[in-house]
A and B are shown apart, each in its own frame.
Chain A
Amino acid sequence: MNCLPKSDIRESFPILSTVFDDGKKLIYLDNAASTQKPRCVIERLKRFYESENANVSRGAHRLGNIATSEYETARDQIANFIGANPEEMIFTSGTTESINAIVYGWGEENVKKNDEIVVLVSEHHSNFIPWQQLAKRKEAFFKVVSVRRDGTLDLNEFKKAITNRTKVVAIAQVTNTFGVIHPIDEIVEIAHSKGAITVVDGAQSVPHILTNVKEMNADFLAFSGHKMLGPMGIGGLYISKKRIGEMRPFFFGGGMIDRVYNDRTKFANPPQKYEAGTPNVAGAIGLAEAVKFLKKVGMAEILDHERQLLEYSYHKLDGINGLALYGTRDLEKRVGVLSFNIEGVHPHDVATILDFQGVAIRSGHHCAQPFMRYLGIHYTARASFYFYNSVEDVDALTDAIKDVKERFS
Chain B
Amino acid sequence: MEISELYADIIMDHQRNPRNYGTLEEKDVEVHTTNSSCGDEIFLEIKFDGDKISQIAFHGHGCAISKSSASIMTELVKGISKQKALELSKKFVEMVKIGKTQERELKDAVVFQGVSQYPLRTKCATLSWHALEEALKRTAV
Question: Which listed residue, B3, B38, B40, B67, touches A353 by the CB 8 Å rule?
Answer: B3
The reply to whether the CB of A349 lies closer than 8 angstroms to some CB of chain B is yes
In the complex, what distance in Å separates the CA atom of A365 from the CA atom of B35? 12
In the complex, what distance in Å separates the CA atom of A345 from the CA atom of B15? 10
Q: Which of A49-70 contact B (CB under 8 A)?
A: none
B3 in contact with A348 (CB, 8 Å): no
- Which residues on A sit within 8 Å (CB–CB) of B124? 348
Question: A348-B121, A348-B124, A356-B3 in contact; A378/B65 too (CB < 8 A)?
Answer: no
Q: Which of A345-399 contact B (CB under 8 A)?
A: 345-349, 352-353, 356, 363-365, 369, 372, 378-379
The reply to whether the CB of B90 lies closer than 8 angstroms to some CB of chain A is no
A346 in contact with B63 (CB, 8 Å): yes
Choose among B63, B118, B121 the residue with the greatest number of A CB atoms under 10 Å from its CB.
B63
B38 in contact with A407 (CB, 8 Å): no
The reply to whether the CB of B39 lies closer than 8 angstroms to some CB of chain A is yes
Choose among B39, B118, B124 the residue with the greatest number of A CB atoms under 10 Å from its CB.
B39
Q: How far is the CB of B4 from chain A (nearest CB, A)?
A: 9
B3 in contact with A349 (CB, 8 Å): no
B3 in contact with A407 (CB, 8 Å): yes
Question: A352-B121, A364-B38, A364-B39 in contact; A346/B62 too (CB < 8 A)?
Answer: yes
Q: How far is the CB of A176 from chain B (nearest CB, A)?
A: 16
Q: How far is the CB of B19 from chain A (nearest CB, A)?
A: 18
Q: How far is the CB of B62 from chain A (nearest CB, A)?
A: 7
Across the two chains, which residue of chain A brings its CB closest to B64? A349
In the complex, what distance in Å separates the CA atom of A40 from the CA atom of B67? 46
The reply to whether the CB of B76 lies closer than 8 angstroms to some CB of chain A is no
Question: Which listed residue, A353, A356, A379, touches B39 by the CB 8 Å rule?
Answer: A379
- Which residues on A sit within 8 Å (CB–CB) of B64? 345-346, 349, 408
Question: Which listed residue, B6, B39, B61, B65, touches A369 by the CB 8 Å rule?
Answer: B39
Count the A-B residue pairs with Cβ separation under 8 angstroms: how many?
Answer: 40
Question: Which listed residue, B7, B40, B65, touches A407 by the CB 8 Å rule?
Answer: B7
In the complex, what distance in Å separates the CA atom of A353 from the CA atom of B62? 16
A378 in contact with B39 (CB, 8 Å): yes
Q: How far is the CB of B141 from chain A (nearest CB, A)?
A: 37
- Which residues on A sit within 8 Å (CB–CB) of B3? 353, 356, 407
In the complex, what distance in Å separates the CA atom of A348 from the CA atom of B38? 8
Mask, B51-70, CB within 8 Å of A = 1, is 00000000001111101000
Across the two chains, which residue of chain B brings its CB closest to A369? B39
In the complex, what distance in Å separates the CA atom of A353 from the CA atom of B61? 19
B65 in contact with A349 (CB, 8 Å): yes
- Which residues on B sit within 8 Å (CB–CB) of A364? 38-39
Question: Which listed residue, A346, A352, A369, touches B118 by the CB 8 Å rule?
Answer: A352
- Which residues on A sit within 8 Å (CB–CB) of B2? 356
B7 in contact with A353 (CB, 8 Å): yes
In the complex, what distance in Å separates the CA atom of A353 from the CA atom of B121? 12
- Which residues on B sit within 8 Å (CB–CB) of A352? 6, 118, 121
- Which residues on A sit within 8 Å (CB–CB) of B65? 348-349
A365 in contact with B63 (CB, 8 Å): no
Mask, B87-125, CB within 8 Å of A = 1, is 000000000000000000000000000000010010010
Across the two chains, which residue of chain B brings its CB closest to A403? B3
- Which residues on B sit within 8 Å (CB–CB) of A348? 38, 40, 63, 65, 121, 124
Choose among B3, B40, B61 the residue with the greatest number of A CB atoms under 10 Å from its CB.
B3
In the complex, what distance in Å separates the CA atom of A185 from the CA atom of B100? 58
Q: Which of B63-82 contact A (CB under 8 A)?
A: 63-65, 67
A378 in contact with B61 (CB, 8 Å): yes
Choose among A348, A353, A378 the residue with the greatest number of B CB atoms under 10 Å from its CB.
A348
Q: How far is the CB of A373 from chain B (nearest CB, A)?
A: 10
A349 in contact with B39 (CB, 8 Å): no
Q: How far is the CB of A371 from chain B (nearest CB, A)?
A: 13
- Which residues on A sit within 8 Å (CB–CB) of B67? 346
Mask, A318-354, CB within 8 Å of B = 1, is 0000000000000000000000000001111100110
Q: How far is the CB of B33 from chain A (nearest CB, A)?
A: 15
In the complex, what distance in Å separates the CA atom of A345 from the CA atom of B61? 11
In the complex, what distance in Å separates the CA atom of A369 from the CA atom of B121? 20
Question: A346-B63, A352-B118 in contact; A365/B39 too (CB < 8 A)?
Answer: yes
B61 in contact with A349 (CB, 8 Å): no
Q: How far is the CB of A322 from chain B (nearest CB, A)?
A: 15
A residues contacting B by CB (< 8 A) are 345-349, 352-353, 356, 363-365, 369, 372, 378-379, 407-408
- Going nearest first, the 6 A-B pairs with the smallest beta carbon separation are A346-B63, A348-B63, A356-B3, A349-B64, A349-B63, A365-B39
Report 5 cross-chain contacts, Cβ distance below 8 Å, ordered by A residue. Answer: A346-B61, A346-B62, A347-B63, A352-B118, A379-B38
Known pairs A348-B38, A365-B39, A379-B38; list 13 more (Cβ under 8 Å): A345-B64, A346-B61, A346-B63, A346-B64, A348-B40, A348-B121, A349-B7, A349-B64, A352-B118, A356-B3, A363-B38, A369-B39, A408-B64
